[in-house]
Structure formats: structure tokens, C-alpha cells
Amino acid sequence: MTINASCSCGKTFRVKDELAGKKVKCSACGQPFTVPAPSNASPSSVAGPVTSCACGAQFRVTAKIAGKKVRCPKCKTICQMPAMSAAAGAGAAQAVVAEVAAPVDEDFWAGVSPPQPATEEGDNLFPQEPTSPKDDMSSSQASGYVIRQIHKGKTNEEIEEDLIGKGMKPYDAARLLETLAEGMRGEKKECSLVFFLLFSWDGEIPRSQYWLGCGIIYALQIAWMAGVLALGFGMIGAGPGATYGFDIMFWCINIPICILFWFMSVSVVLKRLNDLDMDWTWILMPIIPIVGGFIGLYLFIKLGFIRGVT
């Protein structure tokens, strides 16, 4: 005797009745599905009706929740449970397989509280936030989770592993993390623009911020040179000993100051190069003999007047 069985992909088969209640692999899509029981099956032929949630979780329906709306313990969404069929009685029914259902896991309820009936009104309609990395999460929950982990100082790799562990696909986790992390970096730039311009080598800046950074650096250099000249003129006539001491103090302070100005200049230029998708090695080009001057002029025009990505 044979019975009709169908896969979630739409393919229909005729299989032997001895396979009723068992999992077989679809020859069309390769996904396992459960063979339904024949219409005249006895209550002892199968364990009970099998239903599934849109998230892919499958579980058997008991008489307690049959025909009711319950919350899926995996994705926390509301699912409509099928009613117990009359032919199967109180303990058996034909298996119901969702379109994206995964193979039935008999141990699905291990360590998870069974589903409870839910009403159509009230807070039960809203999914609860998962409490452990093993639970699935919606996109809104994932966004909030990522933001909290970034504030806690976790790296992108650690957060991405947590999202994948919660059931999110690796591609979706990477895209979500990239979007949120970039947005939070943008907020951080606005909060500390001067520090970002002068002391960070990461990120990109538009032409306006490039000129702002150059203006700040030139203003600091002018102020520093003015202070040096004022001190130098004040030391004139103070004698050879005082002048010698001034020279030592000048070079001990001037060398670190020059290094600081160089660092800030590289920071501004690097971020502008990133915005134009140019390699960092362009910074070294102006020091090339003869052609370095032309390269420096090209960079001046390119960095200051060509529109980049931001």
C-alpha cells in the first residue's frame, strides 16, 4: 500500500505506508520532510501532529495547545497550532510541514520551556528579547544588541560571532554590524571633530574638513613660531650664557613640537586619501627628487578640490 507525501518545495511522491511518520529526503530539493500517516492510521502509528514555525523550528502538537495560538520558543513569534484531526483521535494527526521547515528535532524541547497559549492582545504579541546567545533574534533586537556590545567595547569579530550564534546568517550579521558600527563612528567623529581630524588615522573626511584640519595645523604652527621669535628677541643682549641655554631649550622643545605637527598633518592627509580611494604611499611621493614637487602640486589639487566619497 502506498500513500501520498509532499515536500515543502511542492514535489509530490507516492511512498510505502511503512515510511509513515518517518523523515525522508526529497529527491528534488534534497531537504528532509516527514511522511504523513495514511488516513486510516491508528493512534499508535505516529507520535502526534507536527507543525513548524516560519523560523524553521518544528515541534509536535499536544492536545493542550491544539487549535490555539502559542509563542514559538525559538523565535518568540505567535504561531497558530493545527487542530487534532478526528481520524487520529487525541494522540495522532497528519504531519504539517512549513515552507521553510527544517527536519523535525525530537529533542527540540530539551532545556526550553514548552509553548504557552498566547492572546491576540497585550504585550504577549511582542517578541521578548533573547537572554542568551543561543536564541534567535529579530532585526530590531539584533540592532539593539549590537549597539550595546559596541558600547561595552567588544570587537566587531566578537559581536559577529555572537550574532551568528543567535541564529543570524553570516552575511546579514556582517552587513548589520558594518552599518551600525559605521554610524556610531560617525557620531563619535561629530562629538570630537578636532581630535578625530588631528590624531586619528582611520576614517574618511570631505574637502571641508580637510581644509579645516589644515587651517588648524597652520594656525598652531604660526602661534608656535611667534612664541619662539618673541622669546628669542627677549634673549638678545642677555649674554652668551643665556643664549646658549636658550638654544638647548629651543631644540629640546622644538623637536617634539615638529613631530607633533608632522603627525597631525599625516592624519589629515591620510583620511583625505581614504576618502578618494588613494593609497597611503602617496604621502611619500613628494620626497622623490625632481618629480616630487610636481607630485606635491598634484596632491594639493587632488586633496583640496576633488570631491570624494563623503
What are the pLDDT digits (tens) for 273-288?
Answer: 888 888 888 888 888 8
How much is the pLDDT for 182? 62
pLDDT score of 131 more than 70: no
Average pLDDT estimate for 212-238: 79
pLDDT score of 39 more than 50: yes
pLDDT, tens digit, 9 for 90 and up, residues 297-306: 888 888 888 8
DSSP E strands: which ranges in the chain? Answer: 2-6, 12-16, 23-25, 32-34, 50-52, 58-60, 69-71, 78-80
How much is the pLDDT for 127? 42
pLDDT, tens digit, 9 for 90 and up, residues 69-100: 777 777 777 777 777 654 444 343 333 333 33
Confidence of residue 134 (pLDDT cuts 50, 70, 90): very low
Confidence of residue 241 (pLDDT cuts 50, 70, 90): low
How much is the pLDDT for 42? 46
Q: What is the mean pLDDT of the chain?
A: 70
Helix (H, G, I), strand (E, B) or coil at 244: helix
Which residue did the predictor score with more confidence, 237 or 283?
283
How much is the pLDDT for 58? 74
- Please tell me the distance from the alpha carbon of residue 161 to that of residue 144, in angstroms, as a whole number: 16
How much is the pLDDT for 275? 82
Instruction: Please state, in angstroms and as integers, the Cα–Cα distance from residue 175 to each residue in 188, 204, 217, following that order.
Output: 20, 19, 37
* Dihedral Cα 165, 129, 8, 120, nearest 10 deg: 170
**What one-letter code names the amino acid at 29?**
C
How much is the pLDDT for 199? 79
pLDDT, tens digit, 9 for 90 and up, residues 102-112: 444 444 444 44
Average pLDDT estimate for 190-208: 73
pLDDT score of 189 more than 50: no
Q: Residue 260, class by beta-carbon neighbours within 10 Å (0-12 exposed, 13-18 middle, 19+ buried)?
A: middle
Confidence of residue 113 (pLDDT cuts 50, 70, 90): very low
How much is the pLDDT for 243? 59
